[in-house]
C-alpha cells in the first residue's frame, strides 16, 4: 500500500491512502533516510509504502518514497541532532506577532534562511493585529516593507476579527502549506478561523491578551475545504540551522545575493573586505540594517565554531 503521512506523534504515524483510508502505522525496525541524520526519519508529508497488518486497521511502514523537498532544523544552535519538520511542501508560512509573545526578526530570518536553502517559498503572517497600537502598527509597516523588498509575501491578519483572512485563504488554496512559529502566536486560532470545521484545541492567555494560544504537541496535516492542506506543527522556541556551510549563508539572503557577485573577492564574507558590493548596498540603504545584523548574528554563531574549521575571512 502507498499513502501519505498526515500525523506523527513520534511512536505512531497516521497514513492516508488515495482512497481516503487512514491506517495507524509504526516504522519497520530502525532505519533512516539516506543522507539525513535526524530524530525522525519519517515526517508529516512523506509518501510511504506500508504493509497492512492482520487487524486491517494498523500498518507497518517499510519504505519512504523520494522526497520533493523537506524542511529541517536543529533544536539549538549547538545541537548535533536535527529534526525534519515536514516534507514535500509547496510553501511555508511563518506565523509571527508583534504582540505577546513578540516574534524576533532573528527567529524569522533563521526560518527564512532555511526555507531558502531548501528552495521552499516562504511568506510571513503577522497575526494578532487586533492587539496592535499605533506604535506596533508602525513597526509592522516597517517590517512589511523590509521583507517585501527582500522578496517575501507578508500578510497582516487577525484570527479574532478576521482581518485579511480572505487574502490568506486565497494563498493557501490548492497548496500544501507548513504553518510554524513560536508557541502562543495564535497558529491554532488562525487555522480555526480559516477552517472552522477543524475546531483545533486552543487555550487562552490570561488578562487583557486573551487570544487563542496553540496547544499542538505533534505535527499534523489538515485538509482544507477549498483545496490544499495546512501542516500544523508544535511551537518552536529556537530555530537552529542544520546541514549548512558557513559560506552559503549570504546566498540565503535574497537582497545580499543580488549584490554579492559584484564583490571584489569571490570568497568575500561581506563583513570587512575592501571592494564589497554588499557593504556598499548596505550603506546606500538597499539592504536593511536589521536583516544584515541578523546575517552577522548567524555568521558568528558558535555552531560554526563547533562544526567548521576551514572558513577564513580575507
Region 7-24: mean pLDDT is: 91
Residue 6, pLDDT score: 97
Q: Are residues 165 and 39 in the same domain?
A: no
* Residue at which a domain ends, from 179, 200, 232: 232
* Residue at which a domain ends, from 232, 262, 286: 232
Q: What is the pTM of this model?
A: 0.88
The per-residue pLDDT of the chain, averaged, comes to 87
* Residue 210: pLDDT band with limits 50, 70, 90: very low
Domain that holds residue 291: 246-307
For 257-303, the pLDDT digits (tens) are 999 999 999 999 999 999 999 999 999 999 999 999 999 999 887 55
Say if residues 276 and 283 touch (Cβ distance below 8 Å). no
Region 88-113: mean pLDDT is: 94
CB neighbour list of residue 29: distance below 8 Å, 6 or more residues apart: none
Residue 241 lies in a domain: no
Q: Are residues 148 and 7 in the same domain?
A: no
* Residue 83: pLDDT band with limits 50, 70, 90: confident
Q: Are residues 90 and 202 in the same domain?
A: yes
Give the chain's domain count. Answer: 3
Residue 264 lies in a domain: yes
Q: Are residues 74 and 155 in the same domain?
A: yes
Amino acid at each position: 500500500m502507498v499513502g501519505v503521512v498526515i500525523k506523527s506523534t513520534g511512536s505512531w504515524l497516521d497514513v492516508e491512502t488515495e482512497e481516503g483510508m487512514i491506517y495507524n502505522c509504526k516504522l519497520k525496525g530502525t532505519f533512516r533516510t539516506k543522507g539525513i541524520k535526524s530524530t525522525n526519519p519519517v515526517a508529516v508529508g512523506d509518501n510511504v509504502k506500508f504493509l497492512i497488518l492482520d487487524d486491517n486497521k494498523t500498518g507497518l511502514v517499510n519504505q519512504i518514497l523520494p522526497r520533493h523537498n523537506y524542511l529541517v532544523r536543529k533544536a539549538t544552535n549547538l545541537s548535533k541532532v536535527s529534526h525534519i519538520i515536514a516534507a514535500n511542501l509547496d510553501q511555508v508560512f511563518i506565523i509571527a506577532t508583534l504582540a505577546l509573545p513578540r516574534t524576533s526578526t532573528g527567529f524569522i530570518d533563521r526560518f527564512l534562511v532555511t526555507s531558502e536553502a531548501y528552495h521552499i517559498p516562504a511568506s510571513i503572517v503577522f497575526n494578532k493585529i487586533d492587539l496592535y497600537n499605533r506604535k506596533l502598527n508602525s513597526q509592522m509597516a516597517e517590517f512589511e516593507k523590509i521583507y517585501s523588498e527582500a522578496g517575501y509575501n507578508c500578510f497582516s491578519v487577525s484570527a479574532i476579527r478576521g482581518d485579511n483572512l480572505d487574502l490568506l485563504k486565497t494563498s493557501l488554496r490548492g497548496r500544501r502549506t507548513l504553518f510554524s512559529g513560536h508557541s502562543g502566536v495564535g497558529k491554532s486560532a488562525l487555522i480555526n478561523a480559516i477552517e472552522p470545521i477543524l475546531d483545533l484545541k486552543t487555550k487562552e492567555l490570561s488578562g487583557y491578551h486573551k487570544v487563542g494560544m496553540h496547544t499542538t504537541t505533534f505535527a499534523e496535516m489538515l485538509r482544507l475545504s477549498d483545496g490544499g492542506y495546512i501542516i500544523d506543527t508544535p511551537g518552536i522556541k529556537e530555530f537552529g540551522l542544520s546541514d549548512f556551510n558557513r559560506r552559503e549563508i549570504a546566498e540565503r539572503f535574497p537582497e545580499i545575493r543580488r549584490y554579492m557577485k559584484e564583490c571584489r573577492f569571490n570568497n568575500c564574507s561581506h563583513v570587512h573586505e575592501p571592494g564589497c558590493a554588499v557593504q556598499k548596498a548596505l550603506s546606500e540603504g538597499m539592504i536593511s540594517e536589521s536583516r544584515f545584523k541578523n546575517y552577522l548574528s548567524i555568521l558568528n554563531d558558535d555552531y560554526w565554531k563547533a562544526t567548521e574549521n576551514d572558513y577564513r575571512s580575507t
